[in-house]
Amino acid sequence: MTKMPMQTPFGAVYFRKSNPPREDWERDYGVAAEDGLNVFRHWFMWSAIERRPGFYDWEEYDRQMDLAAEHGIKTIIAELTHTVPDWAYRKYAHARQMRADGTELPATMGVSAATGGFAPNGGGAGSLTMNCPEVKAAAGAFLTALAERYKGHPGLLGYDVWNECNYSPAVDYNPYTKAAFRVWLREKYGDLDTLAKAWYRYSYADWDDIEPPCQIAPYPECLDWLAFKRENYYGQMQFRIDTIRAVDSDCLIAAHGVAGAIPDMASRGSDDWLAASKVEVYGYTFIHARKGNQSWRSFYAADLNRAAARGKPFWHAERQGGPLWMQPQVVGRDKEDARVAEPEDIRLWSLTSFAGGARGMMNLRYRPLLDGPLFGAFGSYGMDGSRTPRSDMASEIAKWTNAPEQKPLMVAKPVRGEIGILVAPETQAWDYLLSQEGNYDTYQAAMWGAYRGFFDNGIQADWVHIDDIDAYDALYFPYPIMLTSENAKKLAGWVKAGGTLVSEACPGYFGDRGKVGTVQPNNGLDTVFGVREDEVEFMPDIGDRIRFSLDGVSTTGGGFLQSYVVTDGRELARFADARIAMVENTFGAGRALLVGTHPSVGYYRDQSDAGKRYFARCFAFTGKRPHTVSSNPAVQVRLHEGMDGRYLWIVNPTRDTQSGMIRDGHGEALHAGVRHWASRDADLDQGHFSVPARDALIVRLA
């Protein structure tokens, strides 16, 4: 891994200022080193370090760095310039980030650190806007002092420059940000007349007349506001990187998100692709107590980050290691649904992330906090820092990943998925605006439903950004309601050159600036699919009533309904009322399949046999073979490829031993060569496998 002195970084988040107690630090570092942990991440909080203007209290942070060096542990410094000193909150009161109604973001206590200086906003400088030159200079001075102090320290590995990359959808309407927005608009449109035509606002007499939109609604001005916020906040991320790099050009630069691009890329700025493009190592927070303990969710998070990293190394930057008490995400859920983490859960979650391609792991607490609302949460070690069965399990995995005999396995990477799920950012942005009034979750249901539809069929579906489609020969587009003319042309060209596309209803229905095309499918996509629209119905609240018959099987749709008149294509299925529902077509050297509803939404809701069969049918349309075929759908199988061969990961997320037969896509039984991870009862022999509960079998194939 780039700039990594260890084979596999495996560790935890440790110091949060108020925790752990100072008298335990040296002992904890010693235990961590004995247990095979080789990296810690600490929050270096601006609010806790620059206690008065220009006065930096480094003493406790110095001790962390020195202890790390003494015990052979490397440190990721998580810069937290979004924790604002109280003096700065007062001094720069004019720069407080604002909501649309003019209310200012407050300075609050932290949830994940019982320390002041936080705000309900993960972006910029927290409660203050970095569009204010004074705030930007103050934050930059802190970052410069931080980098100067620890440059070359033997305990330093690098910097995490944005914790859980995202920002609040409610901000920022501060005058400094409004001014920056106007500059952005001037650069995009050039003059007020051009802007007026684009926005349908015809009475601007001066650039100062322009206000950011206060409503979340499907208008061009709202698209521009979302695009500006994304560029603005990620520009601030780049500023942090550049400031640190100006002092230390050698250290590692990392960041981590929340695997949130689906569905929060537009609303909260969780653009994992953009964030990963700026750093050397990317990562993700994924906490099963908050997200759900289903296997598909675990693989989704790893697969999304692997896609976003685009070949760069990535790690599971925050993995749960203990319970979560009294938080809204767990209310009403079963105890076994990750509310109380067990050693077997830690094993399963860790191995699943590695199966998805992660090559690093951090527990989001070494030991739990002793104060604040997250008391007792997430730590694999005890409240007093003592070892537990959970920490013993983490230690076993840490040592295993760094054993010399595992090096070829850790160097190997997941093979490319048999099919890609297409991600077009404008589609999500428009749905966010379009669905706000009715509070619809159609986009989320469609994207996750499609992923799960292939997942449940044992097919590895990769998340594919529309900029990356040339790397794939088969794509599934779950919710294609908006495409720019440029991206519609790109997609059509990809099919014409030989790609196979399966699309759900209304491809590119809304075009540039959200304008509906008078010919549907829009922007020339009618020729790609060989159809014209017959009728369309936008009733996602009753979309579960949509049915179409595919090969004689009634299948549930969802979301929207679009029926067709065939031009060049061939009819494959009809809705229950006899309107044409599905058409296939040959376009150039490629093929396209269009279904006039959103079966992905239906499958997300009900996981029916008919829905599962639909996704198998779509995969068959591509003419491709699966990487592997398992007789037991309870396990998930991933294939990795390295310099010395192929590696098979069989993951059993259930609470029972699972067995079955596994073959490659040609029907040949798979045989184990070297066993890399195999519990006593795990085996693969002549294609017959057995994997214990909440465990995995990892072998190099013979």
Q: pLDDT tier at 2 (50, 70, 90 boundaries)?
A: low
Phi, psi of 661 (to 5 degrees): -120, 135
Of 416, 446, 158, 424, which Cα lies nearest the Cα of 283?
A: 158
Q: How far is CA 110 from CA 77, 107, 117, 693, in A?
A: 18, 9, 7, 38
Q: What is the pLDDT of residue 290?
A: 96
DSSP secondary structure letters along 40-84: EEEEEEHHHHEEETTEE--HHHHHHHHHHHHTT-EEEEEEETTS-
The percent of residues in the chain predicted with pLDDT above 90, rounded, is: 98
Task: For 459-518, write each residue's pLDDT tens digit.
Answer: 999 999 999 999 999 999 999 999 999 999 999 999 999 999 999 999 999 999 999 999
DSSP secondary structure letters along 619-686: HHHTTPPPSEEES-TTSEEEEEEETTEEEEEEEE-SSS-EEEEEEETTSPBP-EEEEEE--TT-EEET
How many Å apart are CA 322 and CA 342, to the nearest integer? 7
Q: What share of the chain is helix, strand, coil (3-state, %, to 5)?
A: 35, 25, 40
Q: What angle do the packed helices 343-355 and 389-401 form, to 10 degrees?
A: 30
User: Beta-carbon neighbour count of residue 59 at 10 Å?
Assistant: 8
Task: For 551-580, write each residue's pLDDT tens digit.
Answer: 999 999 999 999 999 999 999 999 999 999
Q: What is the pLDDT of residue 124?
A: 67
Average pLDDT of the chain is: 97
Q: pLDDT tier at 128 (50, 70, 90 boundaries)?
A: very high
- For residue 530, the one-letter residue type is G
User: Beta-carbon neighbour count of residue 188 at 10 Å?
Assistant: 13
Q: Contact 524/470 with Cβ under 8 angstroms? A: no
Residue entry with tokens 């309107």: 579
The percent of residues in the chain predicted with pLDDT above 70, rounded, is: 99
Task: For 177-208, write each residue's pLDDT tens digit.
Answer: 999 999 999 999 999 999 999 999 999 999 99
Q: Is the pLDDT of residue 3 over 90?
A: no
Please name each of the domains of the chain with its CATH number: 10-173+212-403 (3.20.20.80), 419-621 (3.40.50.880), 628-701 (2.60.40.1180)
Q: What is the pLDDT of residue 121?
A: 87
Task: Report the sign of the C-alpha dihedral through residues 215, 219, 221, 227, in that order.
Answer: positive
Entry pTM: 0.97
Angle at 270 between CA 308 and CA 358, to 5 degrees: 35
- For residue 354, the one-letter residue type is F
Q: Contact 269/166 with Cβ under 8 angstroms? A: yes
Q: Is the pLDDT of residue 397 over 80?
A: yes
Rounded to an integer, the average pLDDT of 675-689 is 96
In our burial notation (b when 16+ CB lie closer than 10 A, e otherwise), range 497-524 reads eebbbbbbbbbbbbbbbbeebeebbbbe
Task: For 603-615, write each residue's pLDDT tens digit.
Answer: 999 999 999 999 9
Task: For 62-110, write each residue's pLDDT tens digit.
Answer: 999 999 999 999 999 999 999 999 999 999 999 999 999 999 999 999 9
Q: Is the pLDDT of residue 624 over 90?
A: yes
Task: Report the sign of the C-alpha dihedral through residues 151, 153, 154, 156, in that order.
Answer: negative
Q: 553-556 and 547-550: which strand pairing?
A: antiparallel
3-state secondary structure of 553: strand
Q: Which residue spans within 320-428 are E strands per DSSP?
A: 361-363, 413-414, 419-423
Of 685, 693, 692, which Cα lies nearest the Cα of 648?
A: 685
Q: How far is CA 412 from CA 37, 383, 408, 491, 642, in A?
A: 22, 37, 6, 31, 4
Residue 15 C-beta-side C-alpha neighbours within 13 Å: 31
Q: What is the pLDDT of residue 125?
A: 73
According to DSSP, the residues that pair with 463 across neighbouring strands are 421
3-state secondary structure of 144: helix
Residue entry with tokens 């198998």: 616
Q: What is the pLDDT of residue 300?
A: 99
- For residue 143, the one-letter residue type is L
How many Å apart are CA 588 and CA 611, to the nearest integer? 30
